[in-house]
């Protein structure tokens, strides 16, 4: 379900996501028209494995689980659970490839969406702004990778 924000979406994003600290207020205002908001009820899929991907999602609230189909019909394995400040679906945003996993809300969730065409337009119109946006997105992915390393090290 699409949502109509009562508050300035991108200013809220700026307050709520530490990786947008690479952007100033003018950058945020310029980016605002490119983002949309979506609410997901618990159990609702954001996308399904195999679908063509053309957007990334920034999780504002709630939790999204990613799962991958196994060789056993009807069976899936959970490969990740993501919450506030997580960026998911970047493969679709950057490459437009089919989704490698299914993304399902495991709590009522609110996400900001950025589609591939809009991302490309940002980069074509204002490459410096696109670079700062990408820097923030890479920061988010780097933090996730760091957490993965820490979890892996804790096992041993």
Domains of the chain: 9-151 (2.60.120.10)
Specify the pTM. Answer: 0.84
List Cα–Cα distances, 101 to 38, 131, 133, in angstroms: 19, 27, 25
From first to last of the 156 residues of the chain, give the pLDDT tens digit: 445 554 566 556 656 676 677 788 888 888 888 988 899 999 999 999 999 999 999 998 899 999 999 999 889 999 999 998 889 999 888 888 899 999 999 999 999 899 999 999 999 999 999 999 988 888 888 887 888 788 778 887
């Amino acid at each position: 379900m699409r949502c109509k924000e009562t508050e300035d979406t991108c200013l809220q994003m700026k307050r709520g996501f530490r990786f947008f600290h690479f952007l100033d207020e003018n950058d945020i205002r310029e980016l605002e028209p490119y983002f949309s908001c979506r609410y997901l009820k618990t159990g609702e899929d954001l996308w399904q494995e195999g679908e063509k991907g053309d957007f990334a999602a920034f999780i504002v609230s709630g939790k999204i689980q990613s799962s991958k189909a196994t060789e056993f019909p009807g069976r899936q394995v959970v490969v990740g659970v993501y919450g506030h400040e997580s960026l998911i679906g970047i493969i679709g945003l950057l490459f437009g490839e089919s989704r490698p996993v299914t993304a399902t809300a495991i709590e009522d969730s609110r996400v900001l969406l950025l589609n591939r065409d809009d991302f490309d337009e940002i980069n074509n119109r204002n490459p410096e702004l696109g670079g700062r946006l990408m820097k923030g997105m890479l920061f988010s992915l780097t933090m996730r990778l760091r957490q993965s390393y820490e979890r892996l090290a804790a096992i041993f």
